[in-house]
Chain A
Amino acid sequence: MTRPIRHTLLRLPMLLAMCALGVVFATPLLFMFAASFKHDDAIFANLASWTSYVPDAGWSLANYAAIFERSNLPLFLLNSTIIAALVVVGGILVNSMLAFSLSRMRWRGRGAVLAVVVAMMVIPFEVIAIPLLSLVARLPWPGVEAGMLTWRMGWFNSLHVQIIPFLANAFCVFLFYQFFRDIPPELDEAAKMDGAGPWALFFRIILPNSGPVIATAAIVLFIAAWNQYLWPIMVVQGEAARPVQPGIQQFFGRSNSWGQIMAYASVVTLPVLAVFLVFQRQFVASVAGSGIKG
């Protein structure tokens, strides 16, 4: 057997497996997407058949039109984008810096802090939700009124209440920490010999070579911020600062509008997938271009 044919034959089962898995993974999402083009009755007409997973002959954009009419979806999307972007940028900075100090700097109490950070990964959000609520109700926030600096009591109904408490993320710190630990110490030595201090070392050498872990952390933070549900319900009552996820509850009521729910879910999911699609090329590119390994 010639090499190219054997090559292809070896690849074939792999390709088949990937396709099969792809179908399994995609099926629920196909349902969601297909249902968004259907009338409510049609969605449940034949739940067991494969036709539920593809749009039908009478497909229309009526559900999409309805969700934009019934709710302020563009505003919610904007809010979520701003929140997620700030959480990602701020989070990467803050968490990587802490991880750097934990992995490559020597200081007293370093071990204890690391243990506490790891312990914090365990805390589900629901545990601290209520005390956190009381806390942010009492925190001041600066504002400008008539050219003067004023202080507003409480962080309710704002974007910052959905950003600041989530910048420090124990999981991300741990991610960065593990990654930094594997970077060879020779780099530090070289930097030291060149007279670079820790700041230069961090920002000019370590961070630029941390492409994969930054990409991973970015995805973690983005998803966490985008999918926030319980917290916005508690701290945002108005539409002005509302993000996307609580908005879907509007379509659940005495009569659930399933088609609209699916349309809403599609609108909320697809942009993130698109972002991921773009981001993952960077991820691959940065790993390929990294000069550390090899």
Chain B
Amino acid sequence: MKTILGRDHPLAVSGFAGPALILFGLFVLLPLLLAAAATFTNHRLVSPEPTRYVGFDNYTRLLALQVTTVAPLRDATGEVQRDDEGLRYPTWRQVRQARPELAGYRPAWQFELGERRVVLAATDPLFYRSLINTFLFALLVLPLQCGLALGLALLVNQRVAGRILFRTVYFAPVVTSMVVASIVWSFLLNTDRGLINELLRAVTGNPDAGPDWLGESSHALLAIAIMSAWQGAGFQMLVFLAGLQSISSELYEAATLMGANAWQRFIHVTLPGLRNTIVFVLVSTMLMAFGLFTQVDVMTSGGPLDSTTTVVYHAVRSGFRQQDIGYGSTITVVFFGIVLLVSLLQRVLLAKGARQ
């Protein structure tokens, strides 16, 4: 049961809330509204042409999706053509020439189903792929970073010699400029001469061991997730540390008296005491993961084969680099909406969980 000072004097409230709200309003919400307004125009970064209202054109271009099937190429006798990589299909451009309703669409994903190829075509396939990449990245980085952070916090919380030094070392990556960290990691991850593959080769004894971390579309996102976890774990470690230190030691003493061992103490005292902190760490890590940009920009430029393009990277590339502000804003506004929905969903689920 919480009591709060009764309904407060409006002057006091505005005194406390005012400064931050004004700053938010002016420097975050107003630009956001301007960006949202830009989504209905063809506003460009530098252009002599006047900006025109284009209605929902940007949204249509962003979101339009169609599913279609493609038959393989057949030769004169009606037999399907094959090469060493499987069935041969016409190029997308040829498919489109045959089907005018697909004008402006490019494949986002395609997979083979029997002797046909199913294609999900979109007017901006990169948007959908970047959406998947972003969520995938969040899924990868969340357990890595938060798990690591919790582990580090537990270790550093012990009365061990030199824990201040360890704490600083674990925190050091957080302070390092992301640009430089990305560069050094790309040295580490180099297929031929990077330390990581060198270690793999030494450990497995196989001179060909060691994947092409940043060059294969199957590995690149994982490599970036590992690097991001390295970079961010130190900060979450501090948050966990604060949470750990706020658990009353009496609870631990009581548990020991009741005969609980270290693992049981962890499950029944530590974890429940950290509940709020865990929620906070998970939520904040997830939100930061959605904003992934710098590492991708420096290490992979969205490649290979668009496997590391995230939504923010796509937006910056379209908006700033290709100078299409209207479209870049559309990407971010839609993404903002999606993430908002996800956070709302999370809160609802957490609230339900708390009530049970």
Contacts and interface: CB of A to CB of B under 8 A. Distances in A.
Interface string B293-313: 110000000000000000010
A171 B160 contact: no
A144 interface: no
Interface size bracket, A side: 35 or more
Interface stretch (A56-64, A66-74, A91-99): A91-99
A216 B340 contact: no
Contact of B336 (A25, A127, A213): A127
Given A14-B158, A168-B27, A104 B32 contact: no
A211 to B, nearest CB: 10
Contacts of A185: 2-4
A119 B176 CA distance: 28
A100 interface: yes
A294 B246 CA distance: 10
Interface string B218-234: 00000000000010001
A22 interface: yes
Contact of B177 (A164, A168, A245): A245
Interface string A261-276: 1100100110011001
B180 A32 contact: yes
Contacts of A127: 32, 35, 312, 315, 329, 332-333, 336
Interface in A264-294: 265, 268-269, 272-273, 276-277, 280-281, 287, 293-294
A246 B232 CA distance: 22
B245 interface: yes
B34 A31 contact: no
A219 B13 CA distance: 27
B109 interface: no
B169 interface: yes
Contact of A188 (B4, B170, B171, B249): B4
Contacts of A201: 5
Interface of A: 11, 14-15, 17-18, 21-22, 24-29, 31-32, 47-50, 52-53, 93-95, 97-98, 100-102, 104-107, 113, 116-132, 134-135, 164-168, 170-171, 173-175, 178, 182, 185, 188-189, 192, 197-199, 201-202, 212-213, 216, 219-220, 223, 226-227, 229, 245, 248, 261-262, 265, 268-269, 272-273, 276-277, 280-281, 287, 293-294
